[in-house]
Each structure stands twice: as C-alpha cells, then as structure tokens.
Amino acid sequence: MRFIRGMWRGTCTQTSNGGAFPRGIASRPSFGIGGFGGASALGGLRTHAGQRTVDCSASRQALGATPTVTTPVAFSRVRARAAHSGVAAMAVATDKQLMSVAPMMDWTDLHWRQLARMLSKHTWLWTEMVVDLTLVHQDPNLDKFLWFPEEQHPIVLQLGGSDPETLAKAAELALPYGYDEINLNCGCPSDRVAGSGCFGAALMLDPQRVGACCAAMNKVLGGVPLTIKCRLGVDDHDSYEELAKFIRVVSEEGGITHFIMHARKAFLQGLNPHQNRTVPPLRHQWVFALRRDFPHLSFSLNGGVQSCTEVSAILESTIQGNKVEGIMVGRAAYHYPWQVLAVADTAVFGAAEDPAKSRRQVLRDYAKYADSIQGRFTVEGHKQNPNTRSLTIPLLNMFHGEAGNRAWKQSVDKVLREAQSVSELLDKTLNCFSDEVLDAPPSPPPQGMPAAEWLETLQELPLPATGEYDSSVRSVDDAADGNGSASEANGAAEHAPPSADAVRS
C-alpha cells in the first residue's frame, strides 16, 4: 500500500481502523445526493455522449424528490458592472470576524470553502491568495478565479502583489463579485511569493510601498473594507519597534484600520514554508501590545490556534484592558473540519444551533454542489475542470479519527479511477462507515479553557514603541537576497516553541 497524490492505494475492506489523515493532502470540495451508507444509496449513474445524468430513483425516499443533475451547468456572467458609482452591491455581513479560516494556497479553494460553509454559517472564509497580475491578464476569464456561490458569504479575497497600480486594477476587477472584504498579503514567506514576486512577507521591509498600494486600492474599492495580513517581522528586522513602524506607516498612508497578525516572524531564506510555521516562536503578546499602542485600530490574531475552545479563550482574554478583534484558524480547520468548523457557530458565535446535523447530511448537500459545478471551467480541448477527483479532495478529512477512515480512503482512491461524479463515488464507498458514524451530530468542544489559563502561556508585553529608532529597512527589491537570514534561521531552530500548540499553525 502506498500514498500517492493524497490518496491511499488499495481496496476497501471492512476494518475499524480510523487512521489519521495523511499530511500533505490538498483540498477541494464536493456534494452528495441521497441517503449515504448502504448499497446503491445514490442510485445508478448513466453517461451519455457529453451529458451526465444521475438516476436518483434509489434515493427518492431519502430526499423526498428526484433531482436531475446535468453537467456542465451553464452559469451566467457575474461581472456586470453595478449601476451606482460603478460599485457592485455587497452582501452585508452581520457577524463580527470573531473566527476566520486562514488563506492557504492549494487548500482554501472554491470547493473546500463550499464544504466549510456547510459546516459553519458564521465563520469567515478566505480565498487562496490570487496574484494581481493573474486577474489583470485573465480579464475575460475572471469567473475561474473570482466567482463563488452566494452562500459563501462572509468571504474575504486575498490579493498578492507589490505594484500600486496593478493591485488597484485587480481590486477593481474583483469588485463586482461582491467580496465582503479585500486583503493584501504581507505575510506569506513562500519563495513562490516572497522570492521572485517580491511580495508577501517581503513587503514588510517596505512599509511605504505597502501604504501606497493600500491607498491606490482604497480609491477604487468604494468603501469595501481593505485589510492587511502580515507577520511580526522579517529576517533580522524583527524588533517590536520595527513592527510598530510598519503598522503606523501602513495605517496612516494606506488607510488600513484592521490588521490580521500571524504572531511569528518570517524568514525569507533558510526556512521552507512549513518551518516558517513552526520554527519561529509564537509571540501572541505582541498582538495585544499593538492593540495597546494603536487603540484606534483593530487586530486579529493568527498562529497556533487549534480549536474553538482556544478561540473562545483568546477572545475573552484581556491584557492591560486590551482585547483582540478576532481569531484566525489555519490548518486545524482544514485537517479537522468536523471537529473545528462544525461546532464553531454555537461555540464561538453564540448561535442557537450548528447547521451540520450529521456527516451524511453534509455529504448529501456537498454532492449536489459538486455534481452541479463539475466541468464548469473546462476549456475546449482540455481535461474536465473541475473533475471528480478535484471535487472529492475536500472531503478527505471529514472522517478524521473515525473507525473505517483508512478503509474509506482506500476505497475512494480505487473508485476514483472510474467514478463519473462525487455522488457515484460516495454511493460506492460510504459503506465503509457505520450508520452511527454517518448520522452522529458533531461533538461539542471540550469544556472551555479559562482565559486565565491561556494568558499564563504568554510572556510580558514589549514596551511601547518610541518611534525614534533608525531602522536600516531594506527596500522590497532587495528582499530576495536574504542577507543573514539563513544563519539567523539556524539559531532560531535551536529555541523550542513555548508550547506544543505553538508548533502548529
């Protein structure tokens, strides 16, 4: 048995091995039709010359109706300019951004976000980073990069770039799609971003440029909120005073009032992206210090948060009278969606109930979505996009820790070779789980962690920044040389993070 492209090669066997979800899985979402668990729960599938229909007769009783799904679905163009001032009407998000899911390249795509929204109505979802030049050069094909179903609100589009004019053009192109917020990436240390592109975390070395970028974007956004996601510092530019200068310059020159802080520094060279999420120690207290020193601004905290219990504890924590605005959860939400997102509405937002009643219900709804969108972005002469495999990937963490999980992944990998839809795939594989697993509601999170317990893990706040230091901050164009960062990274690796949770992001 071997692991290939995030799938387990093998055949389905009725075992009770829950199996941990493998590292490195990419994610993309899908839906299911009918009652799962049991033979032919979704009915048969027939393929006719370019058109696919699902025979749902076997699942009429479970659904109460016989849906017909035909793909590819024709979608109307979203990018019609709004009549008033050239600004599209935006869905009003009534919830504070108390909890959000971090933008993760190759993971938080359109399909995974659809699954996440089925698990939580109130958690804010973020797109993968979209490079500004991609949108500018793909103007006739923007739906592929920007379209999303209405139910994915509240949603944030993260843009990457370093040129004010290009970023402003990209923001303008995105405006008609109705994102609730636009974010500029100033925190990603990946060489896919900070190296050749000279943006992401590299931008923290040039706060004036970030301010200019934000000012240009704000001119075209017409009131749509613009935020910054960044680190605490970069390479050897990691003092609190330098961080405070970045916040001051960007807020004053760019008009930014909300910063999402990944509470670690970044190494542009010497550490890979995974090490950049684990080696630099967490400094959550610095985010509270920023709130102290910039009381007119709001700050959200990102880094090391693993559960809704921790989210609630941090939101309730007060340091010198200061609180953070919200909490961003990263890989925990992706790797454990049923354990984290499915209980977020009640545990964090105070809702009366959570939307997901069972995995069976979520998979049924997701299969409907997947069958309707399959092939939507296919270009003539190219492979189907999205296809069954890409639409299935977001589901692979839904049964983390459950009996039958490993057998199910083996079965999924086998069935994917021939399956024509997510509905068909689920119909043929979910017999690896018992009805008890499929129909169980999400378990409430453990008894809440007292805020005082979380505060005990923090060090003292840094002293307020004086603003009188002479910082030899390099320009963003010099960021790629990474002078001194490799040796500093080696030194940082010798220092253990403050807790077990601190090594996860």
27/157 same-domain check? no
The predicted-structure confidence for 319-356, as pLDDT tens digits, reads as follows 889 999 999 999 999 999 999 999 999 999 999 999 99
Q: Is residue 113 domain-resident?
A: no
286/138 same-domain check? yes
260/379 same-domain check? no
Among this protein's residues, is 213 annotated catalytic? no
Alpha helix locations (H) across 265-358?
273-276, 284-293, 308-316, 331-335, 337-340, 344-347
Asked if the model's pLDDT at residue 103 lies above 90, the reply is: yes
Q: Is residue 332 domain-resident?
A: no
CATH number of the domain bearing residue 257: 3.20.20.70
Asked if the model's pLDDT at residue 119 lies above 50, the reply is: yes
Phi (first) and psi of residue 333, to 5 degrees: -65, -30
138/203 same-domain check? yes
Q: Is residue 418 domain-resident?
A: yes
Angle at which helices 110-119 and 359-373 cross, to 10°: 150
Q: Is residue 178 domain-resident?
A: yes
Nearest to 64 by CA among 34, 38, 88, 93: 34
62/161 same-domain check? no
- 3-state class of 259 per DSSP? strand
- The total number of structural domains that make up the chain: 2
Q: Is residue 459 domain-resident?
A: no
Asked if the model's pLDDT at residue 57 lies above 80, the reply is: no
| pTM, full prediction | 0.75
Least confident piece of the model among 50-54, 234-238, 336-340, 465-469: 50-54
23/134 same-domain check? no
Question: Do 89 and 178 touch, CB atoms closer than 8 A?
Answer: yes
Query: Which residue is it, tokens 């995105």?
Result: 174
Structure tokens at 408: 């199910």
Angle at which helices 405-415 and 422-429 cross, to 10°: 130
Structure tokens at 149: 């179903």
Q: What is the DSSP string of 117-145?
A: HHH-SSSBEEPPPEEHHHHHHTGGGTHHH
376/237 same-domain check? no
At 29 the pLDDT is: 35
The catalytically annotated residue of 56, 188, 198, 308 is: 188
Q: How many CB atoms lie within 10 A of CB 248?
A: 17
> 439, 457, 472 — which closes off a domain?
439
271/136 same-domain check? yes
At 56 the pLDDT is: 34
169/270 same-domain check? yes
Mean pLDDT, residues 433-453 taken together: 87
What gap in Å lies between CA 368 and CA 466, rounded to an integer?
Answer: 57
Question: Do 392 and 109 touch, CB atoms closer than 8 A?
Answer: no
What gap in Å lies between CA 109 and CA 77, rounded to an integer?
Answer: 20
> 420, 439, 458 — which closes off a domain?
439
Q: Is residue 161 domain-resident?
A: yes
Mean pLDDT, residues 119-123 taken together: 98
Asked if the model's pLDDT at residue 190 lies above 90, the reply is: no
197, amino acid identity: G
What gap in Å lies between CA 344 and CA 429, rounded to an integer?
Answer: 28
Decide which of 25 and 370 is more confident.
Answer: 370
Nearest to 250 by CA among 220, 290, 192, 195: 290
Q: Is residue 101 domain-resident?
A: no
Q: Is residue 473 domain-resident?
A: no
Mean pLDDT, residues 235-260 taken together: 96
228/373 same-domain check? no
Question: Do 320 and 292 touch, CB atoms closer than 8 A?
Answer: yes
For 20-132, strand residue ranges (E) read 45-48, 51-54, 99-101, 125-126, 130-131
Mean pLDDT, residues 195-202 taken together: 71
Decide which of 91 and 404 is more confident.
Answer: 404
What gap in Å lies between CA 162 and CA 150, rounded to an integer?
Answer: 30
220, amino acid identity: V
The per-residue b/e assignment along 396-406, b for 16 or more CB within 10 angstroms, e otherwise, is: bbbbbebbbbb
Mean pLDDT, residues 32-39 taken together: 36
Domain that holds residue 238: 129-303
> 381, 413, 439 — which closes off a domain?
439
Decide which of 419 and 448 is more confident.
Answer: 419
Mean pLDDT over each residue of the chain, to the nearest integer: 77
At 279 the pLDDT is: 60
The per-residue b/e assignment along 69-89, b for 16 or more CB within 10 angstroms, e otherwise, is: bebbeeeeeebeeeeeeebbe
What gap in Å lies between CA 103 and CA 156, rounded to an integer?
Answer: 9
290/207 same-domain check? yes
Nearest to 426 by CA among 19, 120, 119, 115: 115
At 277 the pLDDT is: 58
167/49 same-domain check? no
For residues 481, 486, 489, 493, the Cα torsion angle rounded to the nearest 10 degrees is: 160
